[in-house]
Structure 1
Amino acid sequence: MCQLNVVMEREGKQETLMEAVTGLEVTEQGIVLRTYFEEPMTIGNASVKSIDFIGGSVVLASDTSGKS
């Protein structure tokens, strides 16, 4: 089973948003993160920058382009 940590990268710094993420979905509202025991978290104005399957992490980048 694969669980990932999701971090947001802003201005060269990384902040952990959620650990042990079991699902990630890109929707019109944003990126929805799911775990087994927590409520889903929706991250608006972000995009997936990178995924490290071996390291178990997803890096999101803040979308500053002004697009919705």
Structure 2
Amino acid sequence: MCQIRVYMEQDGKEKLLLDDVTRLSIDNDGITVSTLFTGPAEIKKTVIRSIDFMAGKVLLEATP
């Protein structure tokens, strides 16, 4: 089974936020992410910048 890693772009660098992500949903003001070992985590004021399915990577970007 391949889980996804979620990164946030900050100052031109990618910071790992969550590993082993099993579910990601888009809300009105951000994204909700669940992992194998934790419950849902809300990441407010964010959008998905890119998804690389081959690398198992989601890159988020903060919104103002």
Normalised by the size of structure 1, how large is the TM-score? 0.85
Gaps of at least 5 residues in structure 2 are none
Instruction: Please say which structure displays the higher CA radius of gyration.
Output: 1
**Which residue in 1 is equivalent to 2:24?**
24
Q: Partners in 2 of 1:5 and 1:27 — Cα distance?
A: 19
C-alpha root-mean-square deviation of aligned residues, in Å? 1.1
Aligned-residue offset at 1:57: 0.3
Gaps of at least 5 residues in structure 1 are none
Normalised by the size of structure 2, how large is the TM-score? 0.90
Asked if the contact 2:51/2:57 (under 8 Å) is kept, the reply is yes
Residue identity (%): 39
Asked if the contact 1:29/1:42 (under 8 Å) is kept, the reply is no
Q: Which is richer in strand? A: 2
Asked whether 1:7 is paired with 2:10, we answer no
- Secondary structure at 2:54's aligned position in 1? coil
Aligned-residue offset at 1:29: 4.2
Q: Partners in 2 of 1:32 and 1:2 — Cα distance?
A: 19
Which segments of structure 1 move beyond 4 Å, counting only runs of 4 or more?
none
